[in-house]
Amino acid sequence: MMRRNPSIEAEGEEEEDRDMDWNPSIGVETLRIPPGVGTLEGFRRWTSSECFPDHGRIDFLAGELEIDMSPENLYKHGGPKTALSAALYSQVDRTGRGAVYIDCTRIVSVDADLSVEPDVVAVLWDSLESGRVVRVPAADGEPDSFIELEGAPDLVVEVISDSSLGKDRRRLPPLYAKAGVPELWLVDARTKRGKGIELRIHVLGPNGYVLAPPDAAGWCESPFLGRRCRLRRHSERDLGYTYQLELRRRPPGPSRLRSPGTRGNRT
């Protein structure tokens, strides 16, 4: 099954397979999809080929293609994504614990039949050293050239847009859980001026994700960061919004939530 916008045209399965040696016709009207992408293996061949589009987001979710070629909303998507990336970079990259990636970083899980490009991804060096996450090299064999991360990254962030609402809230979380991603953040900044925004932290448990309940002030706990988190939005002179991820240390005592592989109280 394929989920797509009306402006996307799929090639028929009966069309002769041209070994993906053509350039895609990507524009206002048409995105061409080659035959054979109905399996994870076939989809991965497409994503690593020269004819895979450079724009938009195309995900493979357990046999379904999710395609979104719509532009990114500046304040409801790009702003919060940038703020979260900056805060996570400070807590992960700059502390030497791992790396944070934004946009077009493809995550693949064979167990979950999944290939996606989340908004933000964080991977600890421990996860790479243990083999829980594996870097997939590019076909050209160039040193230090990788095209995918296979396995379960330590944190995935998805910023919800109108076009991705069903995917982000319903279809992706069970697949991320099956892939073994310890922590999933869902952010919804689509509310109107003066309304609140949502940061919902989901921690993997034995039966799927468990929501880290926010308190009345909007603070919720992230086992990955070892912090309580709150996403705030500020209006700038009626010209737009800026966002900030606020962090607080957890109060003394055992945490109510621990994700698989959490190594003590991270700082």
**Residues 6 or more apart from 118 whose CB is under 8 A from it?**
105, 107, 156, 157, 158
pLDDT at 156: 98
Q: How many CB atoms lie within 10 A of CB 154?
A: 23
| Joined tokens for residue 181 | 């991603």
Q: Decide: 149 and 105 in contact? Cβ < 8 Å.
A: yes
Q: Is pTM beyond 0.85 here?
A: no
Q: Decide: 173 and 156 in contact? Cβ < 8 Å.
A: no
pLDDT at 11: 42
**Residues 6 or more apart from 138 whose CB is under 8 A from it?**
48, 145, 146, 147
Q: Would you give per-residue pLDDT tens digits along the chain (267 residues)?
A: 555 443 334 444 333 334 444 444 344 447 889 999 999 999 999 999 988 998 899 999 999 999 999 899 999 999 999 999 999 999 999 999 999 999 889 999 999 999 999 999 999 999 999 999 999 998 877 888 999 999 999 999 999 999 999 999 999 999 999 999 999 999 999 976 556 789 999 999 999 999 999 999 999 999 999 999 999 998 888 888 899 999 999 776 665 555 444 433 332
CB contact burial 35-56 (16+ within 10 A = b; e otherwise): bbbbebeebbbbbeeebebeee
For the chain, the DSSP string reads -EE--TT--PPPTTSPP-TT-S----SSS-----TTTTSHHHHHHHHTSTTS-SSSEEEEETTEEEEE-PPPPIIIIIHHHHHHHHHHHHHHTTTTSEEEEESS-EEEETTTTEEE--SEEEEEHHHHHHTSEEEEEPTT--TT-EEEEEE--SEEEEE--GGGHHIIIIIHHHHHHHHT-SEEEEEE--SPTTS--EEEEEEEETTEEEE----TTS-EEETTTTEEEEEEEEE-TTS-EEEEEEEEEPPSS--S---TT--SS--
pLDDT at 54: 86
Q: Is 153 exposed, middle or buried (0-12, 13-18, 19+ CB in 10 A)?
A: buried
pLDDT at 139: 80
